[in-house]
């Protein structure tokens, strides 16, 4: 899928505020807001996951700035690696195990975190630092450019877990080759009078972290990487959901194009479609991939993903885009959810994403069904149209251009499928490689 058109929505969002603030402060605000989306989303999985990432980022960046290590360390890169070093836990369901101080094996989530960052972002081989954030200092390859980042992640990871478990004094009784001697010295100096640890204990670390964040500048492409990373980490939980977001976005984009949308409206439509299922981050895996019809209770839990989507996006994303994302299960007759809105309350963009989501769900294989052919898909759409549930005008565009829409959609999903397969294959290889390696449970 062409992410350029989504970047248009981000740029439009920025331009709406440039009259009241400077470009540098505006860029800081924008990427801070995107990180707020990520924060809110991950807290719906388990608040320990993102809070830990924030604390590790605070510790790592504080040590870096205190000691002038930024001469060797790219602060933006360090911040990104720190915040997302445990993103793979969403795939491996290892959050409970991660929070234990000692554990049998936590390589799985480290490997997935590395592969997500390597393949979905522009970090490339710098993501090796995340792969090795359980590797003790003496075992690191000290000739690699990512080693300083890995050492900082390992150290900050250990410090945070020790602070949370009230075992900080014991941390520095580890063998000298476990922690970086340089970082131990820097930490001792930076933590004079408990200056570094106190914010971790009283909760003010986040404000300090965001003050660092505001000093940095990110391109629109880098900002989009945060969202792509989060969305794909959701879809990649299961082989059945790999292409759902991309398909829904591509279908929405093509319908909007055929209906004569302007570039601005296409950008908003595409961005809303891309974010429409972000609320599924808060739905248990056993419900998302339940083999068969959901029970009434399970269905009520599933329905909350639309509410969660709204909660995640409403304070950080433009209202029009938030509504496009959050209203994809509303119906024209008021029978949809979460708010039971009716035809008069739903925009054309919101109606398009609702239909695109249905088409994507029908034409994709799931754990509980096979993919539906064109005839069955159109039959269901026509039935919903005749029952007054979906927009006749949008439905007519789909009927007239179905083959064209799906041809372009199929082409859009190919790179995502290739990425998923590549990640899966490399994961298996790395698991075999690291299964016999020593590690330290640090989160």
pLDDT in tens, the chain (443 residues): 555 555 555 554 444 443 333 344 444 445 556 666 666 766 676 655 668 888 999 999 999 998 877 678 999 899 989 988 888 876 655 445 544 434 445 678 889 889 999 998 888 889 999 999 988 898 898 889 999 999 999 999 999 999 988 999 888 887 777 899 999 999 999 999 999 999 999 999 988 988 887 777 777 677 777 778 878 877 887 777 788 999 999 999 999 999 999 998 999 999 999 999 988 888 887 787 777 788 999 999 999 999 999 988 887 788 999 999 999 999 999 999 999 999 999 999 999 999 999 999 999 876 666 789 999 999 999 999 999 999 999 999 999 999 999 999 999 888 888 998 999 899 889 888 876 555 554 44
Regarding whether 376 and 297 lie in a shared domain, the answer is yes
Regarding whether 256 and 325 lie in a shared domain, the answer is yes
Q: Enter the tokens of residue 265.
A: 């409206």
Phi and psi torsions of 198, nearest 5°: -55, -45
Alpha-carbon distance 82 to 133, whole Å? 10
Exposed/middle/buried for residue 151 (C-beta within 10 Å: 0-12, 13-18, 19+): buried
Report yes or no: 412 and 250 within 8 Å, Cβ to Cβ. Answer: yes
Regarding whether 123 and 237 lie in a shared domain, the answer is no
Regarding whether 298 and 238 lie in a shared domain, the answer is yes
Has residue 278 been placed in a domain?
yes
- Tell me the CA distances in angstroms from 365 to 240, 288, 315, 372, one per residue in order: 6, 13, 34, 8
Regarding whether 302 and 366 lie in a shared domain, the answer is yes
Exposed/middle/buried for residue 383 (C-beta within 10 Å: 0-12, 13-18, 19+): exposed
- pTM of the model as a whole: 0.81
Alpha-carbon distance 48 to 27, whole Å? 28
Residue 379's domain spans which residues? 232-417
Has residue 432 been placed in a domain?
no
Report yes or no: 147 and 409 within 8 Å, Cβ to Cβ. Answer: no
Regarding whether 165 and 245 lie in a shared domain, the answer is no
Q: Enter the tokens of residue 182.
A: 């340089």
Has residue 84 been placed in a domain?
yes
Looking at 129-194, which runs of residues are DSSP E strands?
none
Alpha-carbon distance 137 to 442, whole Å? 13
DSSP string, 280-316: GGGS-HHHHT-SSPPPHHHHHHHHHHHHHHHHHHTTT
Regarding whether 163 and 87 lie in a shared domain, the answer is yes
Report yes or no: 368 and 292 within 8 Å, Cβ to Cβ. Answer: yes
Has residue 273 been placed in a domain?
yes
Tokens 């914010």: give the residue.
Answer: 199
Report yes or no: 246 and 413 within 8 Å, Cβ to Cβ. Answer: yes
CA-nearest of 237, 253, 224, 220 to 412 is: 253
Has residue 272 been placed in a domain?
yes
Overall domain count for the chain: 2
Regarding whether 248 and 135 lie in a shared domain, the answer is no
Q: Where residue 409 sits, what CATH number does that domain have?
A: 1.10.3210.10
Regarding whether 192 and 253 lie in a shared domain, the answer is no
Regarding whether 337 and 275 lie in a shared domain, the answer is yes
Angle between helices 392-434 and 244-258 (to 10 degrees): 150
| pLDDT (0 to 100) of residue 284 | 80
Alpha-carbon distance 404 to 241, whole Å? 23
Q: What torsion, rounded to 10 degrees, do the Cα atoms 218, 221, 223, 229 define?
A: -140
What is the enclosing helix (H) or strand (E) of 206? helix 205-213
Alpha carbon 250 to chain centroid, angstroms:
19
Tokens 């205190």: give the residue.
Answer: 66
Q: Is 24 helix (H, G, I), strand (E, B) or coil?
A: helix
Compute the radius of gyration of the chain from its Cα atoms. 23
Cα-Cα-Cα-Cα dihedral sign, residues 376, 378, 383, 388 = positive
Q: Enter the tokens of residue 28.
A: 């800081």
| pLDDT (0 to 100) of residue 132 | 92
Report yes or no: 63 and 69 within 8 Å, Cβ to Cβ. Answer: yes
Has residue 213 been placed in a domain?
no
Has residue 178 been placed in a domain?
yes
Has residue 29 been placed in a domain?
no
Looking at 144-246, which runs of residues are DSSP E strands?
none
Regarding whether 334 and 280 lie in a shared domain, the answer is yes
CA-nearest of 67, 287, 303 to 189 is: 67
Regarding whether 165 and 51 lie in a shared domain, the answer is yes
């Amino acid at each position: 899928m062409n992410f350029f058109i989504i970047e248009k929505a981000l740029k439009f969002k920025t331009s709406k505020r440039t009259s009241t603030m400077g470009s540098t402060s505006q860029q800081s605000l924008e990427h801070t807001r995107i990180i707020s989306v990520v924060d809110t989303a991950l807290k719906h999985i388990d608040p320990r996951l993102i809070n830990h990432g924030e604390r590790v980022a605070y510790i790592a960046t504080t040590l870096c700035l205190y000691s002038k290590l930024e001469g060797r360390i790219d602060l933006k890169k360090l911040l990104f690696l720190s915040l997302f070093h445990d993103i793979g836990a969403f795939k491996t369901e290892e959050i409970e195990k991660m929070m234990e101080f000692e554990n049998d094996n936590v390589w799985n989530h480290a490997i997935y975190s590395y592969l997500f960052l390597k393949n979905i972002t522009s970090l490339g081989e710098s993501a090796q630092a995340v792969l090795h954030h359980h590797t003790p200092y003496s075992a690191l390859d000290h000739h690699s450019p990512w080693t300083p980042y890995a050492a900082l992640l390992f150290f900050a990871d250990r410090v945070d877990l020790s602070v949370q478990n009230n075992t900080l004094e014991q941390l520095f009784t580890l063998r000298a080759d476990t922690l970086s001697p340089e970082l131990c010295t820097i930490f001792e100096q930076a933590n004079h009078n408990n200056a570094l640890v106190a914010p971790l204990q009283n909760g003010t670390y986040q404000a300090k972290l965001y003050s660092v964040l505001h000093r940095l500048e990110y391109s629109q492409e880098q900002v989009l990487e945060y969202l792509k990373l989060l969305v794909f980490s959701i879809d990649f939980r299961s082989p059945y959901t790999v292409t759902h977001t991309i398909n829904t976005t591509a279908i929405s984009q093509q319908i909007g194009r055929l209906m004569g949308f302007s570039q601005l409206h296409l950008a908003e439509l595409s961005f809303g479609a891309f974010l429409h299922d972000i609320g599924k981050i808060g739905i248990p895996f056993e419900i998302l991939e339940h083999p068969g019809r959901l029970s009434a209770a399970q269905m009520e839990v599933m329905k909350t993903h639309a509410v969660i989507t709204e909660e995640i996006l409403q304070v950080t994303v433009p209202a029009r885009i938030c509504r496009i994302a959050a209203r994809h299960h509303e119906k024209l007759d008021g029978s949809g959810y979460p708010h039971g809105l009716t035809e008069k309350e739903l925009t054309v963009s919101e109606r398009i994403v609702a239909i695109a989501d249905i088409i994507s769900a029908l034409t994709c294989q799931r754990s509980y069904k096979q993919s539906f052919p064109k005839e069955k898909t159109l039959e269901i759409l026509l039935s919903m149209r005749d029952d007054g549930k979906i927009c006749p005008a949008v439905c007519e565009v789909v009927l007239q251009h179905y083959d064209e829409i799906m041809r372009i959609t199929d082409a859009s999903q190919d790179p995502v499928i290739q990425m998923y397969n590549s990640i899966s294959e490399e994961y298996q290889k790395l698991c075999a490689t690291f299964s016999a390696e020593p590690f330290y449970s640090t989160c």
